[in-house]
Structure 1
Amino acid sequence: MVATRNPGFGILMVDDEAPFLRSLSMALERRAGYNHLYRCEDSREALGIIAREPIGLVLLDLTMPHLSGEELLQQITEEHPDVGVIIISGLNQVETAVRCIRLGAFDYFVKTTEEDRLIEGVRRAVAMQEMRLENQAMRRKFLTDTLERPDVFARIITQDKGMRSVFQYLESVAPSGQPVLVSGESGVGKELIAGALHALSNRPGKLVCVNVAGLDDNVFADTLFGHSRGAFTGADQAREGMVEQAGDGTLFLDEIGDLSLASQVKLLRLLQEGEYYPLGSDKPKRSRARVVVATHHDLEQKQVSGEFRKDLYYRLRIHQVEIPPLRRRQGDIPLLLDHFLAEAGAELDKSKPTVPKELAVLLANYRFPGNVRELRALAYDAMSQHRAGVLSMDSFRRALDQKSLGGELTREPSAPVFSPDRPLPTLQEAADMLVDEAMRRSQGNQSIASSLLGISQPALSKRLKKKAGDGSS
Structure 2
Amino acid sequence: MNDALNPEFSILMVDDELPWLRSLGMILEGPGGFTNLLQCSDSREVPRLLAEHDIGLVLLDLTMPHVGGEELLQRITEEHPEVQVIILSGMNQLETAVRCMRQGAFDYFVKTVEEDRLLDGVRRAVRMVRLQRENHAIRRRLFGRRLERPEVFDHIVTRHPSMLAIFGYLESIAASRQPVLILGESGVGKELVARAVHLLSNGRGEQVNVNVAGLDDNVFADTLFGHARGAYTGAERERAGMVEKAAGGTLFLDEIGDLSPASQVKLLRLIQEGEYYPLGSDTPRQSSARIICATNQDLAAKVSDRSFRKDLYYRLHAHQVRIPPLRERKEDIPLLLDHFLRKAAAELNKPVPTPPPELLDLLMSYSFPGNVRELEAMVHDAVSRHEGGVLSMAVFRERTGEGRELQRTADRENIFAMLPELPTLSEAADMLVDAAMERAGNNQTLAARLLGISQPALSKRLRQRRSVS
Cα–Cα, structure 1 residues 116 and 405, in superposed 2: closer, same or farther, change >3 Å?
farther
5 Å matches for 1:403-414? 404=404
- Do residues 130 (structure 1) and 130 (structure 2) align? yes
Counterpart check, 1:70 vs 2:57: no
After superposition, the Cα gap between the structure-2 partners of 1:180 and 1:408, relative to the gap in structure 1 and judged at 3 Å, is farther
Provide closer, same or farther for how the CA distance between residues 262 and 92 of structure 1 changes in structure 2, counting only shifts above 3 A: same
- Matched residue count: 410
Name the residue aligned to 1:456. none
Q: Which residue of 2 aligns with 1:329?
A: 329
The equivalences for 1:365-404 within 5 A come to 365-401=365-401, 404=404
Residues 2/31 of structure 1: CA separation in 2 closer, same or farther (3 Å cut): closer
Q: Secondary structure at the match of 2:13?
A: strand
Alignment correspondent of 2:437: none
Q: Report the 3-state secondary structure (helix = DSSP H, G, I; strand = E; otherwise coil) of the residue aligned with 2:253.
A: strand
- Are 2:181 and 1:178 equivalent residues in the alignment? no
Name the residue aligned to 1:420.
none
**1:245 — aligned with what?**
245
- Quickly say closer, same or farther: Cα 1:404–1:247, change in 2 above 3 A: same
Residue aligning to 1:353: 353
Query: How far apart are 1:128 and its partner, in Å?
Result: 2.0
Q: Counterpart amino acid of 1:227?
A: H
Matched-pair contact (CA < 8 Å) for 1:269–1:276: yes
C-alpha displacement of 1:194: 1.5
Name the SS of the counterpart of 1:119 in structure 2.
helix
Inter-partner Cα distance in structure 2 for 1:19 and 1:310? 45
Cα 1:101/1:162, change in 2 over 3 Å:
same
Q: Which residue of 2 aligns with 1:232?
A: 232
Cα distance between partner residues in 2 of 1:305 and 1:74? 51
Report the Cα distance in structure 2 between the residues aligned to 1:258 and 1:155, rounded to whole angstroms: 27
Structure 1 residue 197: deviation in Å? 1.5
**Superposed CA offset, 1:12-55 (max 9, x none):** 11122223222222222333422111111121211111011111
For the residues of structure 1 that align with 2:8 and 2:402, how far apart are their CA atoms?
53
The residue aligned with 1:106 is 106
Deviation at 1:332, TM superposition (A): 0.9
Q: How far, CA to CA, are the matches of 1:265 and 1:46 in structure 2? A: 42
Distance in 2, Cα, partners of 1:144 & 1:402: 45
TM-fit CA distance, 1:222: 0.8
Tell me the equivalent position of 2:25: 25
Is 1:166 the counterpart of 2:166? The answer is yes
- Aligned-pair CA distance for 1:348: 1.6
Partner residue, 1:277: 277
The equivalent of 1:453 in structure 2 is none
Give yes or no for contact 2:10–2:54 (8 Å, CA) kept in 1.
yes
Q: Aligned residue for 2:303?
A: 303
Q: Which residue of 1 aligns with 2:190?
A: 190
Query: Does the CA contact (< 8 Å) of 2:182 and 2:323 recur in 1?
Result: yes
Whole-Å separation in 2 of the counterparts to 1:217 and 1:232: 14
Task: Give 1:406 shift.
Answer: 9.6
3-state SS of the aligned residue for 2:31?
A: helix
Contact 1:248–1:288 (CA under 8 A) maintained in structure 2: yes
Structure 1: gaps of 5 or more residues = 410-473
The 1-side partners of 2:75 and 2:392 are apart by 73
- Within-5 A mapping of 1:14-93: 14-93=14-93
Aligned to 2:257: 257
- Displacement of 1:2 in angstroms is 6.7
Amino acid corresponding to residue 382 of structure 2 in structure 1 = A
CA distance in 1, matches of 2:102, 2:260: 46
CA distance in 1, matches of 2:226, 2:389: 54
Q: Could you say what secondary structure the match of 2:76 adopts? A: helix
Distance in 1 separating the partners of 2:303 and 2:181: 15
Offset at residue 308 of structure 1 (A): 1.3
2: CA distance, partners of 1:46 / 1:349? 64
The answer as to whether partners of 1:366 and 1:405 remain within 8 angstroms in 2 is no
Q: Is the 8 A contact 2:2 2:205 kept in 1?
A: no
CA pair 296-151 structure 1, distance change in 2 beyond 3 A: same
Q: Please, which moves more after superposition, 59-68 or 213-222? A: 59-68
Question: Which stretch shows the higher mean deviation, 267-276 or 158-167?
Answer: 267-276
Q: CA deviation at 1:107?
A: 2.1
Counterpart CA distance in 2 for 1:338 and 1:184 is: 24
User: What's the TM-score, normalizing by structure 1?
Assistant: 0.82
Q: Tell me the residue number matched to 1:7.
A: 7
Structure 1 pair 16/300, CA: closer, same or farther in 2 (3 Å)? farther
RMSD, aligned CA: 2.1
Q: Is the 8 A contact 2:253 2:293 kept in 1?
A: yes
Q: Is the 8 A contact 2:2 2:247 kept in 1?
A: no
- TM-superposed CA distance for 1:88, in Å, is 2.1
Counterpart CA distance in 2 for 1:403 and 1:193 is 27
Instruction: For residue 236 of structure 1, give the secondary structure of its aligned residue in structure 2.
Output: coil
Give the distance between the partners of 2:321 and 2:89, measured in 1 at CA: 40
User: 1:366–1:407: 8 Å Cα contact kept in structure 2?
Assistant: no
Work out the CA distance in 1 between the residues paired with 2:344 and 2:26. Answer: 55
| Aligned partner of residue 404 in structure 1, secondary structure | helix
Could you say what secondary structure the match of 2:5 adopts? coil
CA contact (8 A) 1:32 1:273 kept: no
Task: Output one character per residue of 1:365-394: Cα deviation in whole Å (capped at 9) or x when no partner.
Answer: 222221111111011111112222222222
Q: Which residue of 2 aligns with 1:440?
A: none
* C-alpha distance after superposition, 1:437-471 (max 9, x if no partner): xxxxxxxxxxxxxxxxxxxxxxxxxxxxxxxxxxx
Q: CA deviation at 1:356?
A: 2.6
Once the 2 structures are TM-superposed, how far is the Cα of residue 303 of structure 1 from its aligned partner? Answer: 1.8
Q: Secondary structure at the match of 1:401?
A: helix
Which piece of structure 1 moves more, 119-128 or 49-58?
119-128
**Distance in 1 (alpha carbons) for counterparts of 2:90 and 2:147:** 47
Find out whether 1:316 has 2:316 as its counterpart: yes
Q: Offset at 1:157?
A: 0.7
The amino acid of 1:370's aligned partner reads G
Deviation at residue 184 of structure 1 after TM alignment: 1.4
Distance in 2 (alpha carbons) for counterparts of 1:204 and 1:224: 19
